[in-house]
Amino acid sequence: MPELPEVEKARRLVHDLAIGSPISRVHRPIIDDKVFVDVASGQFERALSGRKITHSKRHGKQLWWQLDGNDALVPCFHFGMTGAFVARGIDGIQYYNSKASGTGDWPPRFAKLVVAFENGVELAFVDPRRFGKIKLVADVAEVIGQLGPDPLLEMPNEEAFAALWRRRSAPIKTAIMDQKVIAGIGNWMADEILYRARVHPETRANELSSTQLEAIRFRVTEVVKVACEANSDHDLFPDDWLFHHRWGKTGGAKVNGDAIKFIEVGGRTTAFVPKLQ
Which residues have a catalytic role annotated? 2-3, 61
Angstrom distance (rounded) from CA 275 to CA 176: 22
CB 273 within 8 Å of CB 258:
yes
CATH 3.20.190.10 for domain 4-145, yes or no, is yes
Answer yes or no: is pLDDT of 272 > 70. Answer: yes
Contact 262, 248 (CB under 8 A): no
Q: Are 28 and 44 in contact (CB under 8 A)?
A: yes
Question: Domain spanning 158-272: which CATH class is it, in words?
Answer: mainly alpha
For the question of whether the overall pTM of this predicted structure is more than 0.75, the answer is yes
104 — pLDDT class (breaks 50, 70, 90): confident
Rounded CA separation 169/165 (Å): 8
Give the phi and the psi of residue 16 in degrees, each rounded to 5: -75, -30
Q: What is the pLDDT of residues 118-136, one digit of tens each?
A: 999 999 999 999 999 999 9
Q: Reduced to 3 states, what is the DSSP secondary structure of residue 47?
A: helix
CB of 86 closer than 8 Å to CB of 102: yes
CA 160 – CA 198 distance, rounded (Å): 21
Whether 215 shows a pLDDT value over 80: the answer reads: yes
Q: Quick check: 5 and 77 in contact, CB under 8 A?
A: no
For the chain, the farthest-separated pair of C-alpha atoms sits apart, in whole angstroms, at: 58
Mean pLDDT of the chain: 93
Same fold, 4-145 and 158-272: no
Q: What is the pLDDT of residue 105?
A: 87
- What mean pLDDT do residues 176-181 have? 97
- The confidence score (pLDDT) of residue 188 equals 96
Domain edges within the chain: 4-145, 158-272
Confidence label for 259 from pLDDT (cuts 50, 70 and 90): very high
